[in-house]
A and B are shown apart, each in its own frame.
Chain A
Amino acid sequence: METEKIKRFADLIRLETAKMLSKRGFGHLGGSFSIVETLAVLYGQVMKIDPKNPAWPDRDWFVLSKGHAGPALYATLALKGYVPLSMLDTLNENGTLMPSHPDRLKTPGVDVTTGSLGQGISLATGVAMSFKLDKKPNRVFAIVGDGEANEGQVWEAFQFAAHQKLSNLLVFIDENHKQLDGLTKDIMNPFDLVMKMEAFGFACLRVKGNDVDAIYEAIRQLDSIDDQAKCIVLDTVKGQGDEYFENLFDNHHIRFSGDSKDALTSLIQRLSEKVESEGRQ
């Protein structure tokens, strides 16, 4: 993998996400930022896709089960060329094709509609099972939130995936240690997610979710397994990639004003300069 290229892609995704949220004045920053590096690796390196042909039958599928992180996915899709970058300006505008939660009937490149937590991962298992039944090589990548994993349906999906040995499905759990009301350990203790996944029958690794090399290596390591369901627990920080937002406790959904507005503006400035100078090199 060309590490520098993927890192730059991650910077661009974070920048475009920040710009969208800034334009609208509010949004799900924390959970969007924590998956940026994973999206960069998947869309920049791993997934078999054709942005000019979103419905390509041979493509790999992506399911954002924690649908509220939609802005990060939209930024990724626009940067890949599924939709014009200018469309990002319409996030959550009246009549938009880019609503808070991804909608397969609205945005080109969105494979599955999500937003009601817990259902995306079941949908992903269904897609993967179908490819398996048809003996097709398409793979399915899904990202589940650590708060989302409170939902019983998530564990029903995991049980199904493990039982059916859906090795064409790769589940990411974004363990950013927070949900809406606070820390996961205070709201609904997840205990050790890797141990839980292993007990459910998964091959499971834990990696630093801000390290594109580590994410890529983990995906490669699991690639060789073809008789087991697979999971990568991403050890992340909610608001990842910006010191202010990482340290802001209530960073799930932010209405930008005062300090948070200034922080977002300076993040946009910093990332713009960074990608510009990298672009010149």
Chain B
Amino acid sequence: MNIRFATVQTPKEIRAVYQETLNELIESNSSILVMDADLAGASGVAKVFKNHPDRCINMGISEANMVSAAAGMSLTGKIPFIHTFAPFATRRVFDQLYMSGVYQRANLKIYGSDPGFWAAHNGGTHTSMEDLAMTRALPNITIFAPSDATQFKWCMKEAAAIDGVVYIRATRKVLPDIYDPSSEFETGKAIVVAPGSDIVIYAIGEMVNEALNVRTSLATRGISVEVVDCFSVKPLDEALIRSEAVGKKLIVTAENHNKINGLGCAVAHALSEVGNLAKQLTIAVDDRFGEVGTTDYLMDKFELTSRQIEEKILRIM
């Protein structure tokens, strides 16, 4: 692991990074294939399809078939990257992920896009707040929830190198830069993004940036907040989670996902074997459905903004 933090902001759309990284992977590894389920325009891979028609397959609106067919291809040595929206990449195809995927150790890479509030105007039917809950319960799977473009790119390259099913959950849109592009991460290793002594916030994905905002704001009240990026949701860095919780006055988790069986539960489980710890505050979606709206509106509705997180922390402290 070799982490450097971003010193300048040059944020890119994650879908542009998806496209650019697939081009690089295709050119460096002849086993890589790209598949999409009639969302190639949406995921940005339409351009990869144009450049590498022999390495790309549009599976049409057939997510279940895509997962199993991609898994079948992987049994003969191919490394397929498949994409659809997060709900269709997980809950719509869950038995396919299980039987065709992890159960027979297929070598499948899945990008589930626009989880949680990112579904925006696609609304409740397209909102996934349970994809981590479902995938976390599968043996033989690696789950990444990257927090910026650099980490997303690293996750894709790592996914190509891992032999097994990898699920990457991320927006298609822009995330603020947290890491310098030269950063190297490690599967199963969380990152202390910013130190602090009173509170620790374990966060994933877009919520890492919210946690950093909370940190800045609470500093003005003399409260010192540590922020940890738990992008490797499975395997989770339980050792680091335990060590950073010790001595804190409050333990917080933050995720754009249902409070049930997401990061909050994973952290609580990791900490359950350690005694004498502070209370845990779970910042997550309160077991409800999504709806249409702008991402800002939905973030607020799901109580995931840094302002709302701060208020909840102050109420407990």
Contact = CB atoms under 8 A, between A and B. Distances in A.
A100 B122 contact: yes
B61 A116 contact: no
A179 B60 contact: yes
B261 interface: no
A151 B62 contact: yes
B41 A116 contact: no
Interface in A95-128: 95-96, 99-101, 103, 113-118
Contact of B123 (A26, A115, A118, A152): A115
The majority secondary structure among interface residues of chain A is: loop
Contacts of A93: 293
Interface string B78-105: 0000000001100010000000000000
Closest 9 CB pairs of A and B: A115-B125, A188-B60, A150-B60, A150-B61, A99-B292, A94-B297, A94-B293, A99-B123, A180-B38
B283 interface: no
A230 B292 CA distance: 34
Contacts of A188: 38, 58-62
A92 B126 contact: no
A95 B293 contact: yes
A152 B121 contact: no
Contact of B38 (A67, A92, A113, A179): A179
Nearest to A113: B125
B46 interface: yes
Given A115-B126, A147-B38, A100 B121 contact: yes
Interface of A: 26, 67, 92-96, 99-101, 103, 113-118, 147-148, 150-152, 179-181, 187-188, 250
A188 B69 CA distance: 15
Given A92-B292, A147-B38, A181-B38, A187 B121 contact: no
B271 to A, nearest CB: 36
B42 A180 contact: yes
Given A180-B38, A180-B39, A181-B46, A151 B123 contact: no
Interface string B24-66: 0000000000001011111000100000000000111110110
Interface string B2-42: 00000000000000000000000000000000001011111
Among B61, B88, B122: residue with most chain A CB under 10 A: B61
A100 B126 CA distance: 10
B124 interface: yes
B91 to A, nearest CB: 9
Contacts of B40: 181
B216 interface: no
Contact of A152 (B58, B64, B87, B88): B64
A261 B143 CA distance: 42
Given A147-B61, A179-B38, A181-B36, 9 more contacts: A95-B291, A99-B124, A100-B122, A114-B125, A181-B40, A187-B38, A187-B58, A187-B60, A188-B61
